[in-house]
Amino acid sequence: MIFKLLLIYFSINTISAVPLKFRDGVSVVPYIVNGTDAKIEEFPFIVSLIYIYNETLSWHTCGGSILNEYWILTAAHCIYDEEPESYAIEYATTHVTETPGSFKTRQVEKLIWHEDYDEANLNDDIGLMKVRSHLDINLFDFKIRLPVRDAYFATGIPAVLAGWGRIGTGMPISTILQKVDLQIYNQYDCAQIHQPGWLLYNNICAGVPGGGKGQCNGDSGGPLMSLGVQVGIVSWSIKPCTVAPYPGVFTSVAPYVDWIAENSGLNFQLGMFLHSV
């Protein structure tokens, strides 16, 4: 599996020895650019998803966010058609060690990807992971907040993205958590920029008008935050990473609040924002 982020190649160079899939001439590879170092206090809910190849080889593959002491929210393409034994999560740290077994690491027990997830167009690109043993955290401080069902976020609203992805096309992933300030593009406005038919009803986008800031390989599954809640899950972007004028594409979280509750068994308190209880 490794990474699966949707990207268009504008050059003949590949970025790493990462397996590729293709859709209509578009490469699908598993993928912050021009970000700054983040503190865990800013994103206490973020986790690194570690892919375990064997007993001696593992690596960071995607991001995720903590829903409660057992459940993690991520992208379907990060876990699709894989076994739980192949994954661990690292949490409560800004550094990725890629060595499962440390105090802040938990093995994954269960993987759930959306039943309508489409690997060809990344529709319904949302998934859940359940860890074997509870996370040693203060849930009040560490769990993510979700938007209310079907909440709408208008173009121009400030957002922030965090992750350990590549710092640029052809560059290594960051071993220190990065953050970058972006702005939201609603589905309609983003669809006017991207290729016709590529944006789906359940997508939301984020970037900057001039390009140069946003997601890259390894940021998949990670959280896009706005107004104190997670509004998106990193899904795909055009390559080279952050090339203008294309904003990065995310799975919008708001349409999936019920799906998250149904599949995780979590209850949510209704209010301006949703909190798992």
Contact, 174 vs 165, CB < 8 A? yes
Judge if 122 and 66 occupy the same domain.
Answer: yes
User: What is the torsion angle, in degrees rounded to the nearest 10, for the CA atoms of residue 29, residue 91, residue 179 and residue 76?
Assistant: 30
- Tokens encoding 170: 């052809």
159 has a pLDDT exceeding 90 = yes
pLDDT at residue 22, as a whole number? 31
The maximal CA–CA distance of the chain, rounded, in angstroms, is 50
Judge if 116 and 179 occupy the same domain.
Answer: no
Is 146 domain-assigned?
no
pLDDT at residue 181, as a whole number? 95
Is 246 domain-assigned?
yes
Helix (H, G, I), strand (E, B) or coil at 185: strand
Closest CA to 46 of 222, 256, 236, 253: 222
Q: Phi and psi at residue 219, in whole multiples of 5°?
A: -90, -10
Dump pLDDT digits (tens) for 166-175.
Answer: 776 666 677 8
CATH code assigned at 86: 2.40.10.10
4 has a pLDDT exceeding 70 = no
pLDDT at residue 276, as a whole number? 52
Judge if 179 and 116 occupy the same domain.
Answer: no
Contact, 233 vs 74, CB < 8 A? yes
* Domain around 182: 157-254
Helix (H, G, I), strand (E, B) or coil at 78: helix
pLDDT at residue 158, as a whole number? 97
pLDDT at residue 8, as a whole number? 30
Q: Phi and psi at residue 28, in whole multiples of 5°?
A: -115, 110
Beta carbons within 8 Å of 56's beta carbon, 6+ residues apart: none
Is 5 domain-assigned?
no
Residue 207, beta-bridge partner list:
183
Question: Is 132 or 97 the better-scoring residue by pLDDT?
Answer: 132
**Residues forming the active site:** 77, 125, 220
Closest CA to 2 of 62, 56, 43: 62
Judge if 161 and 250 occupy the same domain.
Answer: yes
Q: Phi and psi at residue 139, in whole multiples of 5°?
A: -60, -30
Is 8 domain-assigned?
no
- Tokens encoding 192: 């006017």
Average pLDDT over residues 202-231: 92
Is 27 domain-assigned?
no
pLDDT at residue 205, as a whole number? 96
Beta carbons within 8 Å of 191's beta carbon, 6+ residues apart: 198, 199
Is 275 domain-assigned?
no
> What are the DSSP E strand ranges found in the chain?
5-7, 21-23, 26-29, 36-37, 46-52, 58-66, 71-74, 87-91, 105-113, 127-131, 146-147, 158-163, 178-185, 203-207, 223-226, 229-236, 248-252, 268-269, 273-276
Judge if 167 and 222 occupy the same domain.
Answer: yes
- Tokens encoding 178: 């990065």
Which ranges of 56-126 would DSSP assign to H, the alpha helix?
76-79
Judge if 98 and 175 occupy the same domain.
Answer: no
Is 126 domain-assigned?
yes
Mean pLDDT over all residues of the chain? 82
236 has a pLDDT exceeding 80 = yes
10 has a pLDDT exceeding 60 = no
Domain count, the chain: 2
Judge if 161 and 85 occupy the same domain.
Answer: no
Phi-psi category of residue 211: left, alpha or beta, with phi > 0 → left and psi -120 to 50 → alpha: left
Of the listed ranges 95-99, 145-149, 194-198, 249-253, the one predicted with least confidence = 95-99
20 has a pLDDT exceeding 60 = no
Q: What does pTM read for this prediction?
A: 0.84
